[in-house]
Amino acid sequence: MEQRYYQAGVETMPREELRKLQNEKLRKQVEHVYRSVPYYRALMDEKGLTPGDIGGVEDLYKLPFLSKSDLRETYPYGMLAVPLSDCVRIHSTSGTTGKRVIAYYTQHDIDLWEECCARAIVAAGGSKDDVVQVCYGYGLFTGGSGLHGGAHKVGALTLPMSSGNTDRQIQFMMDLKSTIICCTPSYAAYIGETLREKGYKPSDNTLKAGIFGAEPWTEEMRRDIEKSLGIKAYDIYGLTETSGPGVAFECSEQHGMHINEDHFVAEIIDPDTGEVLPDGEKGELVFTSLDKEAFPLLRYRTRDICVLDRTPCPCGRTHVRMAKPMGRSDDMLIIRGVNVFPSQIETVLINEGYAPNYRIEVDRVNNSDTLDVFVELSPDQFSDTVGAITTMEKKLSAAITGILGIHPTVHLVAPKSIERSEGKAKRVVDKRKLHD
Ligand code: ADP
Ligand code: ZN
């Protein structure tokens, strides 16, 4: 396949040159932050550091970390590194794991972010000839604006649908002949399901690719969406604190997401000790923004658990790849002492022939943790006898036990009884927190 890039120069820059560029930008950025953000200057002073101590990426480990709690503490403007009058936009996290934090952008920051999204769209085969249907939410959430801006930069015809109103999404998709769709994977699955219910075959739409992110999703879920929409599904990653989606994106190889390293330096650390881990080891992803002006976070701890891959990619891009994060350290459930990621359960469900409509409930009864998995049946499966369904429940429960090492109670429930998601899916209810 012929490779196309949005910014070939930086995307395929030889590593040595890229490192030089990063070093140069990092030195300037540390100086900028030290000068403009008293909160971070105090953290550096505490460690006896001055900007002169950071000569390049190899000195990054010396700098203090930032985490969500720092952003909450400095809310709203304690991290601002330019006069507020130089900012043109504010976004905020979805608040998936607590109080929202806000991020601010200068026009330069918006351009940089949109260019990252444009790289993702081009990597997924997009060009000015495409019709890009953006059904991430618009508003404070970064998903809609990011992909919207990226599609504009590419020169594609952009449909700013926002999320929801699935009937209208489908009508516009068909009438306006959308070729690329951008949303959360859970919403993509829902749109696929709705298309099927309306009697459309996957070949009835003109979509060729989808760019899905903002929440964890499995390879099994990817295949499911690709089948139901008749497309190639690409992953995109980002977080509000670093701009939004587009920090990393998949190329045609689909073997990890290229991190836009001319703007962000990635490290993997041991989440318990903060120690930087060698390449190839799994740990918490930490980002340093190299050239954002208004909200330039240094060594920001994402809490996302993943692995970096520095082997060269056949697509020609030289930027490091990150594996699909399978959940944040704070999505991880500890059930009867065993670490469980919801994505592990999703993998089993889809492999066992169920649709990715499920809810996980954890509780504590008589001092012992309980795990209940509610999984929706298809109308066909639902017409089976009670006996047959009980057998299916036992089989699925055994399959999950095989992967997790702990025994869940599986409940197969009626079609459509589990709420669909138009944005980030909420699949876990941890009732133990209510008792604490
Ligand atoms: P919140 O932290 O409130 O969810 P954001 O909207 O900024 O706010 O979400 C960023 C987070 O979403 C990331 O830290 C990561 O956990 C998750 N995320 C984003 N893209 C992906 C992806 N492609 N795969 C897995 N998780 C993702
Ligand atoms: Zn690649």
Q: In this predicted structure, what is the pLDDT of residue 328?
A: 80
* Alpha carbons 154 and 126: distance in angstroms, whole number: 8
> Into which CATH architecture does domain 334-430 fall?
2-Layer Sandwich (3.30)
Question: pLDDT for 143-160, tens place per residue?
Answer: 999 999 999 999 999 999
Relative to the CA of 142, which ligand 1 atom is closest? 6
Grade residue 124 by pLDDT with cuts at 50, 70 and 90. very high
Contact 230, 224 (CB under 8 A): no
Neighbours of 55 (CB within 10 A): 12
Per-residue model confidence (pLDDT) at position 434:
66
Rounded to whole angstroms, the Cα distance separating 350 from 323 reads 20
The pLDDT value given to residue 367 = 86
Mean pLDDT of the chain: 95
In percent, the amount of the chain with pLDDT more than 90 equals: 89
Q: Give the model confidence (pLDDT) of 284-303 as tens digits.
A: 999 999 999 999 999 999 99
Please, which pLDDT band fits residue 428 given cuts at 50, 70 and 90?
Answer: very high
CA of 297 to the centre of ligand 1 (A): 17
In this prediction, residue 384 carries a pLDDT of: 82
Ligand 1, CB within 6 Å, residue ranges: 93-97, 213-216, 235-240, 302, 304, 324-325, 328
Using alpha carbons, select from 182, 186, 185, 193 the residue that is nearest to residue 358.
186
What average pLDDT score do residues 209-217 get?
96
Number of Cβ atoms within 10 Å of the Cβ of 274: 14
Average pLDDT over residues 398-407: 94
In tens, the pLDDT along 217-226 reads 999 999 999 9
Domain boundaries, the chain: 8-329, 334-430
Counting ligand 1 atoms within 8 A of each CB, the residue from 215, 219, 330, 331 with the most, and so the one to mutate, is 215
Tell if the pTM clears 0.85, that is, is over it: yes
Q: What six digits make up the tokens of 215?
A: 């929440």
Radius of gyration of the chain (CA): 22
Ligand 1 atom with the smallest distance to the CA of 213 is 23
Question: Whose C-alpha lies nearest to ligand 1, atom 11?
Answer: 239
Instruction: Quickly tell me which residue has 């990890």 as its tokens.
Output: 256
pLDDT of residue 97: 66
Q: Could you read off the pLDDT of 355-393 as tens digits, one per residue?
A: 999 999 999 998 899 999 999 999 888 888 889 999 999
Answer whether residue 332 shows pLDDT above 90: no
- Give the distance, in angstroms, between the CA of residue 148 and the centroid of all CA atoms in the same chain: 17
- Topology of 8-329 in CATH? Rossmann fold (3.40.50)
Edge-to-edge order in the sheet of strand 368-376: 409-413, 368-376, 358-365, 428-430
- Average pLDDT, stretch 249-273? 97
